[in-house]
Chain A
Amino acid sequence: MPIIDAVLGDFFWRALIGGLGVALIAGPLGCFVVWRRMAYFGDTLAHSALLGIALSFLISVPLNVGVIVTCVVLAIALVLFSRSKTLATDTLLGILAHSALAIGLVTLSFMPDIRVDLTGLLFGDLLAMSRNDLLWIYGGALLILALLTVLWRGLLMSTIHEELARVEGVPVERLRLVLMLMFSIVIAVAMKIVGVLLITALLIIPAATARRLAGNPEHMVGLAILFGFIAVSGGLTMSWHLDTPAGPSVVVTGFAVFLLVYGSARQVQT
Chain B
Amino acid sequence: MTDALVELHRLTVNFDDRPVVDHVDLRVQRGDIITIIGPNGAGKTTLIKAILGLQPISGGALKIAPGLTIGYVPQHLTLETTLPLSVRRFMLLSGRSHQECMEALTKTGVEHLLHASVHRLSGGEKQRLLLARALARRPDLLVLDEPAQGVDINGQAALYELIRSLRDELNCGVIMISHDLHLVMAATDKVICLNQHVCCSGYPADISHDPAFIETFGRPVAESLAVYHHHHNHSHDLHGDVVSADHDDHTECSHAHH
B27 on interface, CB distance cutoff 8 Å:
no
B199 on interface, CB distance cutoff 8 Å:
no
Is B79 a contact partner of A166 (Cβ separation < 8 A)? no
Which of B89-97, B160-168, B182-190 is near enough to bind chain A?
Answer: B89-97
Q: Cα distance A220–B49 when bound, in Å?
A: 33
Q: Name the B residues within 8 Å of A269 (CB-CB).
A: 117, 120
Return the CB mask of A225-258 against B: 1 if under 8 Å, else 0.
0000000000000000000000000000000000
Query: Which of A156, A167, A211 is within 8 Å of B82, CB to CB?
Result: A211
CB distance from B101 to the nearest CB of A (A): 14
Return the CB mask of B151-169 against A: 1 if under 8 Å, else 0.
0000000000000000000
Is A270 a contact partner of B74 (Cβ separation < 8 A)? no
Is B119 a contact partner of A160 (Cβ separation < 8 A)? no
A83 on interface, CB distance cutoff 8 Å:
no
Query: Which of B70, B82, B84, B143 is within 8 Å of A216, CB to CB?
Result: B84
Is A217 a contact partner of B83 (Cβ separation < 8 A)? yes
A268 on interface, CB distance cutoff 8 Å:
yes
Evaluate whether A37 and B80 lie within 8 angstroms (CB atoms) in the complex, with A166-B53, A168-B137, A269-B120 already known. Answer: yes
Query: Which of A163, A211, A268 is within 8 Å of B54, CB to CB?
Result: A163
Query: Which of B72, B95, B133 is within 8 Å of A153, CB to CB?
Result: B95
Dominant SS at the A interface? Answer: helix
Q: Name the A residues within 8 Å of B200 (CB-CB).
A: none
Return the CB mask of B59-83 against A: 1 if under 8 Å, else 0.
0000000000010101001011011
CB distance from B76 to the nearest CB of A (A): 10
B85 on interface, CB distance cutoff 8 Å:
yes
Q: Name the B residues within 8 Å of A186 (CB-CB).
A: none
A107 on interface, CB distance cutoff 8 Å:
no
Is A167 a contact partner of B70 (Cβ separation < 8 A)? yes
Q: Name the B residues within 8 Å of A161 (CB-CB).
A: 74, 77, 79
Is B72 a contact partner of A163 (Cβ separation < 8 A)? yes
Return the CB mask of A11-42 against B: 1 if under 8 Å, else 0.
00000000000000000000000111100000
Evaluate whether A270 and B84 lie within 8 angstroms (CB atoms) in the complex, with A160-B90, A167-B52 already known. Answer: yes
Is A270 a contact partner of B85 (Cβ separation < 8 A)? yes
Is B84 a contact partner of A159 (Cβ separation < 8 A)? no
CB distance from A83 to the nearest CB of B (A): 12
Is B89 a contact partner of A216 (Cβ separation < 8 A)? yes
Q: Cα distance A35–B84 when bound, in Å?
A: 9
Is B80 a contact partner of A270 (Cβ separation < 8 A)? no
Contacts between chains A and B (CB distance < 8 A), count: 66
> Which bracket fits the contact residues of B?
20 to 34
Q: Cα distance A157–B90 when bound, in Å?
A: 9
Q: Which parts of A142-160 form the interface with B (CB within 8 Å)?
A: 153, 156-157, 159-160
Q: Cα distance A185–B120 when bound, in Å?
A: 36
CB distance from A145 to the nearest CB of B (A): 20
Which residue of chain B lies nearest to A31 when distances are taken between CB atoms in the complex? B83
Is B80 a contact partner of A153 (Cβ separation < 8 A)? no
Is A168 a contact partner of B94 (Cβ separation < 8 A)? yes
Q: Name the B residues within 8 Å of A156 (CB-CB).
A: 93
CB distance from B210 to the nearest CB of A (A): 32
Return the CB mask of A59-82 against B: 1 if under 8 Å, else 0.
000000000000000000000000
- Could you list some 29 contacts between A and B, CB below 8 A? A34-B82, A37-B80, A153-B93, A153-B95, A156-B93, A159-B80, A160-B79, A160-B85, A161-B74, A161-B77, A163-B49, A163-B52, A163-B54, A163-B74, A164-B72, A166-B53, A166-B54, A167-B143, A168-B94, A211-B84, A216-B84, A216-B85, A216-B89, A217-B85, A217-B89, A220-B83, A220-B84, A268-B84, A270-B119
**Top 6 closest pairs, chain A to chain B, by CB:** A270-B117, A270-B84, A167-B72, A35-B83, A214-B84, A34-B82
> Other than the known A34-B82, A217-B84, what 8 A-B pairs have Cβ atoms closer than 8 Å?
A161-B74, A161-B79, A163-B54, A163-B74, A164-B74, A168-B70, A216-B89, A219-B84
